[in-house]
Amino acid sequence: EKLIYMDEVGTPDSSRIWDGAALREGQIVEKSKEGFRQWLLNHFPDPDILLNKNRMPERFALARDNKLPTEVMMDISHTYVGIAEKVIGHPLARSANPKQEIIEVLREQYGLID
């Protein structure tokens, strides 16, 4: 099963990617952030805050004051990991300690941390 159709070339965050095998069978199975986007729009009582760029102060407050459920964050993570694995053709190597790896890169490669 391969992903064969994209509406643009970019990242899973900006592109919509469809499952090729399903599409050949006449089904559209989208592999993108759209499920997460729809969850957000349905979760908050005033979805216009998320859609209207003129309401950025309210959007920042919404982000600051609301913790999203872990299972929702893990679901979108699994979506992105699945896309990456399809593109590269094998499972991603996952870090045992991603926070420490990020700190080391920032320290050693960019000198941003003492």
- How far apart (Å, rounded) are the C-alpha atoms in residues 105 and 110? 7
Interval 93-114: pLDDT, tens: 989 999 999 999 999 999 998 8
What is the pLDDT averaged over residues 66-70? 94
Q: Encode pLDDT of 73-84 as tens digits.
A: 999 899 888 888
* Domain extent listing, the chain: 3-32+67-108
User: pLDDT (tens digit, 9 = 90+) per residue, 14-58?
Assistant: 667 778 888 889 988 877 888 888 999 999 999 999 999 999 999
Which span out of 4-8, 15-19, 60-64, 83-87 was modeled with the highest average pLDDT? 60-64
The values of phi and psi at residue 19, to 5°, are -70, 120
> How far, in whole angstroms, is CA 83 from its chain's centroid?
10
Nearest Cα to 29, choosing from 42, 43, 16, 45? 16
